[in-house]
Amino acid sequence: MKKVLLTGISGYIGQHCAVALLKQGYAVKGSLRSLKKAAAITAIIEKEVDPKGKLSFCALDLLSDTGWDEAAEDCDFLMHVASPFFSKIPKDENELIKPAVEGTQRALKAAHKAGIKRVVLTSSMVAMLGSVSGDEHIDQQSWTDVTAKHATAYLKSKTLAEKSAWEFANTHGMELVTIHPGPVYGPSLSDNLSGESMTLFKRILTGQLKQMIHASINMSDVRDVAKIHVLALENESAKGQRLVVATDRAHSYQEVIQLLKSEGYQRVSTSMAPTFMVKLLANFNSEMKGMLPYVGKKYEADISTTKTLFDWEPIPFKTMILDTAASVSTILAKRD
């Protein structure tokens, strides 16, 4: 039985990865910042799959050396999903960059010391945005220019963390696969709506979000993201690949709200924010400033390599959006 060290198991993507791994017969050792969360995460996972004694936990922190070697020593693979995220621009960009880069280095060093041959790393399409000027065609060779005008701390953190992973893997002869989703949606396995994806849909469905920004990008279903993470563990052809896992084409956020409105979500506002106004407000609002890499822009990604390697077709955009809305609506109904 092969065991996977899965960092960030408590997160939106991490929970789906844990379920997908267990369904495929892998044992999972999930990392948490505090083991106090272990019982709650176990209960969430058990709703989807019987772990059959193959689920365990360890305490790890991206900014601490403690426990990494011990966590990796009995594992066959590393799936490094954990990464910091802030929707607002932090006052000090190193609040994001430091844990992302240092955490990645700690994870890979521990994996190398333990003799782990392959690492699957969760990167992002935001590490592939080129000059961050929009109308970019994204493929496996694309990298975000971290010196670009609108390169935010989050974009820099994902790009620099991934570059550090490739440098380490190439230096030490490790097999590395990086997974690059766009904005990730799809059903939540927990009742937690605090993550970026769930918060956005909560605001849309309750009418709290009065205006949507003009922006287009390939979007990703969390179930596809988890599936490709798992398939990449042992697919020989995946070695050394940067794999985009997203819809076939870019979709706009205007499409999202119009679809929801047409499907009976009456509180959804279909008003669009003028791009010039968002850019103006970004001078005073850190959350608006975080939107500048996307507002008024389109990013189109090539997913052909991922489709070919795994004989995979992405979950349709309409299914992804409506399943997300249904999931969030169910959670909100429980709270009423």
C-alpha distances in angstroms, 7 versus 62, 103, 161, 171, 252? 9, 10, 15, 23, 31
pLDDT score at 212: 95
What letter would DSSP give residue 132?
S
Q: How far apart are alpha carbons 105 and 122 in whole angstroms? A: 14
The low-confidence residues of the chain, meaning pLDDT below 50, are none
Segments making up each domain of the chain, as ranges: 3-335
Q: What is the pLDDT of residues 18-50, one digit of tens each?
A: 999 999 999 999 999 999 999 999 999 999 999
Task: For residue 239, count other CB atoms closer than 10 A to its CB.
Answer: 14
Residue for token pair 């989703």? 181
What pLDDT is stored for residue 85 in this prediction? 64
Alpha-helical runs (H) found in 55-212: 68-72, 94-113, 153-172, 196-205
Sign of the C-alpha dihedral computed for residues 313, 317, 318 and 319 taken in this order: positive
Q: What is the DSSP letter of 212?
A: B
Please tell me the distance from the alpha carbon of residue 164 to that of residue 109, in angstroms, as a whole number: 11
- Residue 150: predicted pLDDT: 87
Q: How far apart are CA 60 and CA 66, in angstroms?
A: 7
CATH 3.40.50.720 for the 3-335 domain, yes or no: yes
Residue pair 309/235 in contact by the 8 Å Cβ criterion: yes
pLDDT in tens, 104-149: 999 999 999 999 999 999 999 999 999 998 888 999 999 999 999 8
Q: Give the rounded distance of the alpha carbon of 310 from its chain centre.
A: 19
Cα dihedral: 143, 149, 155, 158 (round 10): 50
pLDDT of residue 135: 81
Q: Residue 75 class from Cβ within 10 Å (0-12 exposed, 13-18 middle, 19+ buried)?
A: buried
- DSSP letter at 127 equals G
